[in-house]
Structure 1
Amino acid sequence: MEVRVVNVRKEFERFPALHDVSLDIKSGELIALLGPSGSGKTTLLRLIAGLERPTKGAIFFGEEDASQKSIQERNVGFVFQHYALFRHMTVADNIGFGLKVRHGAARPRAQEIRRRALELLDLVQLSGLEKR
Structure 2
Amino acid sequence: HSGVPILQRAIEFSLSGGTSDQGTEKEGLEEVETPEEQLRSAAEAGRSEPAAALLCAGTSVNAADESGFTALMFALDCCDATERLEMARLLLLHGADPNALDHQKLSVLDWAEQSGDHALIRLLRAHGARPGQGEAE
Determine which structure has the larger strand proportion and give its number.
Answer: 1
TM-score with structure 1 length normalisation? Answer: 0.28
- What TM-score, normalized to structure 2? 0.27
Q: Which protein has the bigger helix share?
A: 2
